[in-house]
Structure formats: C-alpha cells, structure tokens
C-alpha cells in the first residue's frame, strides 16, 4: 500500500510538471564554466527534448545526464518532472532521493525513499540508504529495522552490516558489533571501513592488540564493496575532463592501459591541458610506449613542457627505454630547477640504485625524506640502499626509524628480520619476525620467511 503522502504528492507533481496541455520542455540550465564536453552534451540533449518534451526515454536520459554531471538543481527538477510522467517508477523516486541527499535536503530524501519502497520494496540499496539516513538523523529504532530489512534482501551486503555495526557501537554493544563485523572482514578484507569499525569494537572490549591489528589492516583497504545498479546506471553518464581522467586512472590501476587510453580519446583535442597530458603520459608509459611520450613531450608548447610533472614523466619514459643515464641527467636538471621537489629525489634514488650507485642512491632517498617524502616505500628504499652500499648499521637504523614512523606496518620488521638473519643474529631476527606478525604479517608468509631465514624454531 502506498503511503498517504505519496498519494497526495504524485498528482500535485504531475500538475506542476505537465500543466493542462501536457508536459512542457525543461529550461536549459546555466552552463557557464562547465566542462565543454558536458556543455555540448547538455545542449544537444536539450534540443532533442524541446522537440519531444513528452518522450520519457529522452526525459530520463536528460535527468541522468544532469545528475551524473552534478547539475544538481536542474537534475532534481528533471527527476521530479519524471515523477509526474512516471509516478509508479521506483527508480525515479530513488534518484530524487539521491540528489536530494546530495543537496542536503534530508526530509525530501526520506520522503522519496518511502515512495521507492512503496513501489519496489525489494530494492536492497534503497532500504540500505534509508537505514543510513535514518541513522544519521538519529532515528535509531527505525534505522535498525530498515537496515535489517536491507540485510534480509541482500544477506551479507557490506553496507547494511557496517551501518548495523555502527548502530551497535552507538548503543554500547561492542560485542555484537564484533560478531557482525568479523564475518564481513573475512569475506571482504579490503572493505575500507570494516576493519576500522572492528578495531573500534575490539578497543571498546579492551583488546588493544586485536584493535591494532585491524587498524593496520584498515590502512590497506580498497574501494567500498557496495552495489547499487540504479546509481551506477546514472554515473555512467558522467562526462568531462576530470571524470575521464579518473576513469582512465582506474583502468590503469586495473592493469588495462589500452582501455585507459580509450577513455581519454574524446579529449584528444584538448592537448594543452596539463592534467590531461600528464595522464596521457602516465598511460603511455604503462602501455609500453615511452618513445611516444618523448615524441609528444618534444612537441609540447615550451611552458607546458616545463611543467615539473611532465618533466618527471619524461624521466620515467627514458628509464622505461633503458636510457637510465639520460634519465639521471634529465632528473638532475629538474632537481636543480626545483630543489624542493617532493618526489624527484626518491626517483633519483631508484635510478642510481639501478646503476649500482648505492651510496649515492641512499643519499638521494635521505634527501627525499628531508623534502617531505614520508612514504613507507621511501623509508624502506633508504634502508635497502644503505644495505646494498654495505652500511648495515645505517640500514638497521633506517629500519628502526621506519618502524617508529609506521608503527602498524609489518614491512620494516620483515626487512629487519632479513638483515639480522643475514648477519647471523638469529635471536634478534626471530624477535623482529614476531614483531612483524603482531602487525598483521600473514601467518603463512611468516612461516615462509622463517623457513627462508632458518628461523623455523622461532615461529612454531
């Protein structure tokens, strides 16, 4: 049965959108300052909609385009216009809820979600979204019931489990939160917030060791595992430089540079925009086409070519072509120009290491740290370079510093274990491996390392 509010609102919305003689075409939103690709797409579709204002397919595409490209006011109007045209289409109400939430209009979002669930009570993401909004609004009892319904529709779904665990913690029931979260973490070890919440539950229960272990795991977390097909359908309509760059980088991270390049192709005419060129170079290097980076770099306008980011990509291209001495020379030139470069010295350390100049590499890594490069990778690279330069004392000191700076990370302890074992200091090596294990080093990997270093007795 439909909620009374919906029954009243739907015909009203219909009158507003359609008027007495049928639907009118929507106004063209303000597009000044928008990305040219977005502007062109919106203007084109608006032209079509003016000709066919009652076409629900066109109207849906219109709403999706505005929504995906964050023209929120116009998108909300477009979705509300569709409510009038298709009052029983649950996903239209859902998009009203999503955009309203984005605009901070919580009451409108909650009402729209009620409508969604009146027509599509089985759409789990809507139940989960409603539960989360109720939780944020402090309506805990309703939130709990709604989230349980979401979970029943999609057992084990991360979103509702996480929200229910938040609710448990809010009510002071850390044991229950722990019971909910442990299976989730086992299934989705890279879910970004599950480990953090589980750490909170353990800390509340007084188990700081387990809390620390899950805080360490949280640092390795990946993308959220939530699934919302209706939202994804809209997001596919996002256009513009930033969106395409983000998508290209995601493709690149997934190991598909060809697909990344394809994402960038519609922007080919905008070759004077630094962010685009930088991403193109990144993709070409990953794609095994560093020679093309050098060619393109040589053709750039001088002021663009002088960009520190592109200069660094040129260095990487030279490196990928095996022209490491030239890469070093180019990087030296860049570092002379920008002595405070935050990432250049670390790259110099890597290049010098490849050339077997380990002492100089260690100096470069140390300079990188002085310049503010605080990554674990650089801290470990410094230790590795010192070790390769046969400065074991320096390497150990660097690993101690890395362990202090990254107290949750097992890696500095693993490296320390390896170094100590190589020096024959087996008891200390065993202790370091134990420290790594308390910081989340997987037991199987710990066993392999113990075997490799002759420390089997220590980890049994």
Partner 1 sequence: MRARAAWLALVPVLPACGGGETPVEPTRGGLPWFEDVARARGLDFTLVSGHADEFWMPEIMGGGGALLDADQDGDLEVYLVQGGHLVRERRKGERHRLFENQGAAHFRDVSAGSGADLEAYGMGAAAGDADGDGDTDLYVTHVGPNALLLNQGGLRFVERSEGVAHPGWGTSAGFFDAECDGDLDLFVANYLDWSFEGELPCLNSLSRRDYCSPKNYRTPARDVFYVNDGAGRFVDESEPSGIGAKRGNGLGLAFGDLDANGWLDVFVANDGMANHLWWNQGERRFREGALVAGCGVDASGQEKAGMGVVLGDLDRDLDLDLLVCNLASESDSFYLNEGGRFTDRTALTGIGPVSKSFTRFGVGAFDFDHDGELDLFEATGRVQAASEPSTADVYAEENLLFRGVGPGRFVEVEPRGGVAAPLVAAARAALFGDLDGDGGLDILVVNRDAPANLLLNRVAVRGHWVAFRVLERGGGDALGATLEFTGPRGRERREVASASSYLAASDPRVHLGLGPESGVDEVRVRWVDGVEERFGPHAAGSVHVLRRGAGR
Please state, in angstroms and rounded to a whole number, the distance separating the CA atoms of residues 108 and 117.
14
Give the nearer residue to partner 1 in terms of CB position, either 127 or 279. Answer: 279
What whole-number distance in Å separates Cα of residue 61 and Cα of residue 59?
5
What residue has token string 């299976």? Answer: 183
Name the minimum Å distance from CB 350 to partner 1.
17
Report the 10 Å Cβ neighbour count for 121.
13
User: Could you tell me the smallest distance in angstroms from the CB atom of residue 170 to partner 1?
Assistant: 6
CA dihedral 366, 367, 370, 375 (to 10 degrees): -60
What minimum distance in Å lies between the beta carbon of 48 and partner 1?
Answer: 23
Instruction: Give 97 or 211: the residue with its C-beta nearer to partner 1.
Output: 211
**Cβ of residue 271: shortest distance to partner 1, in angstroms?**
15
Q: Rule CB under 8 A: which residues touch partner 1? A: 30, 33-35, 38, 70-73, 103-104, 106, 133, 135-141, 162-163, 166, 169-170, 172, 192-197, 199-200, 203-204, 208, 211-212, 215, 218, 240-243, 245, 274-275, 278, 307-309, 338-342, 371-375, 404-405
- Give whole-number Cα distances, 84 to 8, 16, 75, 107, 113, in Å: 12, 8, 14, 19, 16
Task: Provide the sign of the torsion angle of the four alpha carbons 168, 173, 174, 177, taken in this order.
Answer: negative
Give 285's contacts (C-beta < 8 A, 6+ positions apart).
Answer: 293, 313, 316, 317, 320
Closer CB to partner 1, 124 or 165, in the complex: 165
32-50 b/e (C-beta count within 10 Å ≥ 16 → b): eebbebbbebbeebbeebe
- Residue 114 beta carbon to partner 1: minimum distance, rounded to whole angstroms: 16
Q: Determine whether 27 is exposed, middle or buried from the number of CB atoms within 10 Å of its CB (0-12, 13-18, 19+).
A: exposed
- Which of residues 177 and 458 has its CB atom nearest to partner 1 in the complex? 177
Give the shortest CB-437-to-partner 1 separation in angstroms.
Answer: 19
Q: Which is nearer to partner 1, 280 or 357 (CB)?
A: 280
Q: Toward partner 1, which CB reaches closer, 163 or 260? A: 163
In the bound state with partner 1, the residue whose beta carbon lies nearer, of 220 and 340, is 340
**Closest distance of CB 185 from partner 1, Å:** 11
Residue with tokens 């291209």: 317
Query: Rounded to the nearest whole angstrom, what is the least distance from the CB of residue 108 to partner 1 in the complex?
Result: 12
Q: Tell me the closest approach of the beta carbon of residue 290 to partner 1, in angstroms.
A: 22
C-beta contacts of 288-294 below 8 A and 24+ residues apart: 288/257, 288/320, 290/316, 290/317, 290/318, 290/320, 290/321, 291/317, 291/321, 293/317, 294/318, 294/321
d(CA 397, CA 95): 56
Question: CB-wise, 89 or 173, nearer to partner 1?
Answer: 173
Nearer Cβ to partner 1 (14/192): 192
**Structural tokens at position 64:** 């999706």
């Amino acid at each position: 049965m439909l909620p009374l509010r919906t029954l009243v609102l739907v015909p009203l919305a219909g009158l507003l959108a359609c008027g007495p003689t049928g639907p009118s075409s929507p106004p063209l939103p303000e597009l000044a300052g928008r990305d040219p690709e977005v502007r062109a797409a919106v203007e084109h579709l608006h032209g079509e909609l003016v000709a066919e204002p009652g076409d629900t397919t066109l109207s849906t595409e219109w709403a999706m385009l505005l929504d995906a490209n964050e023209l929120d006011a116009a998108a909300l109007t477009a979705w509300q216009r569709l409510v009038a045209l298709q009052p029983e289409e649950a996903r239209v109400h859902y998009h009203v809820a999503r955009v309203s939430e984005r605009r901070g209009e919580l009451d409108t979002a909650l009402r729209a979600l009620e409508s969604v669930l009146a027509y599509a009570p089985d759409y789990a993401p809507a139940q989960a979204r409603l539960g989360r909004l109720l939780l944020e609004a402090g309506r805990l009892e309703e939130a709990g019931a709604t989230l349980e319904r979401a979970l029943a529709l999609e057992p084990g779904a991360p979103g509702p489990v996480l929200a229910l665990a938040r609710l448990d913690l809010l009510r002071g029931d850390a044991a229950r939160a722990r019971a909910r979260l442990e299976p989730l973490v086992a299934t989705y070890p890279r879910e970004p917030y599950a480990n953090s919440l589980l750490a909170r539950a353990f800390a509340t229960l007084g188990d700081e060791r387990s809390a620390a272990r899950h805080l360490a795991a949280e640092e390795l977390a990946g993308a959220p595992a939530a699934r919302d097909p209706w939202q994804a359908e809209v997001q596919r309509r996002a256009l513009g430089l930033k969106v395409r760059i983000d998508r290209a980088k995601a493709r690149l991270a997934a190991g598909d540079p060809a697909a990344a390049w394809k994402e960038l192709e519609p922007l080919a005419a905008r070759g004077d925009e630094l962010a685009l060129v930088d991403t193109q170079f990144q993709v070409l290097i990953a794609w095994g086409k560093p020679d093309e980076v050098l060619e393109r770099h040589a053709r750039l306008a001088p002021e663009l070519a002088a960009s520190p980011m592109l200069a660094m990509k040129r260095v990487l291209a030279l490196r990928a072509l095996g022209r490491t001495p030239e890469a070093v020379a180019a990087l030296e030139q860049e570092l002379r120009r920008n002595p405070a470069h935050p990432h250049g010295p670390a790259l110099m350390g890597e290049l010098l290491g490849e050339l077997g100049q380990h002492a100089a590499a260690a100096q470069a890594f140390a300079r990188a740290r002085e310049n503010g490069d605080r990554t674990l990778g650089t801290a470990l690279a410094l230790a590795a370079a010192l070790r390769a330069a046969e400065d074991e004392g320096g390497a150990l000191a660097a690993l101690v510093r890395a362990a202090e700076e990254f107290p949750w990370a097992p890696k500095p302890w693993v490296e320390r274990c390896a170094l100590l074992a190589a020096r024959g200091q087996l008891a200390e090596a065993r202790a370091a491996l134990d420290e790594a294990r308390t910081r989340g080093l997987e037991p199987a990997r710990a066993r392999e390392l113990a075997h490799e270093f002759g420390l089997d007795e220590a980890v049994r």
